[in-house]
Amino acid sequence: MLVVLKDYFSSSRVTIDLDLDKTGVCKGQSSQNLTMGLYSQLGTYRVGLFVIGSKLFLCMNDVIVDTSIDEISTSYSKNEEWRELQIRVGIKNHLIAYANPRAPVSTPFYSEDEEDVDFGLWIHNIFSSGERRQIIINRWANGIDMHPENGASIE
């Protein structure tokens, strides 16, 4: 199954070829080139979050986690422009260290939050809130292309 993810900070996309049939998840489903989630490069990890059907998946390089099955917890810290995102899947820890020199921008018309410029913090905040996870699942169930705030173009 091919899953298309959009970069969190740009319009570029990557396609991931997943073999999810072994778990019995999404047999026979196809993304039909819909963008299913978001990703970003955090240090040496490509981290992504996507939805298939009503399931939220987390990918870290070649590791794909069905968050409805596996227990996920995160911690996040920062020191100047260095960040550490720790993702615990069951008993396995993934420590993701990365630089993030971006700072939120404020104008008279718009103010960014810190998570708007830090994908690792956004991931941490998603996994710290069951309500936010459910919102992501509901909004992305049919792909993220229909949501202008996710970089979709309205014509």
Residue 23 has pLDDT above 60, yes or no: no
Which DSSP symbol is given to 106? B
Distance CA 25, CA 96 (A): 27
Q: Residue 138 is encoded by which pair of tokens?
A: 């509901």
Selection from 18, 10, 7 nearest residue 47 by Cα:
7
Task: Give 88-116 pLDDT, tens digit per residue.
Answer: 998 999 999 999 988 778 777 777 888 99
Task: Give 114-127 pLDDT, tens digit per residue.
Answer: 899 999 999 999 99
- Band the pLDDT of 152: cuts 50, 70, 90: very low
> CA-CA distances (angstroms) from residue 91 to 73, 75, 88?
10, 14, 7
Orientation angle between helical segments 119-127 and 130-140, nearest 10 degrees: 110
Please give the model's pTM, rounded to 2 decimal places. Answer: 0.82
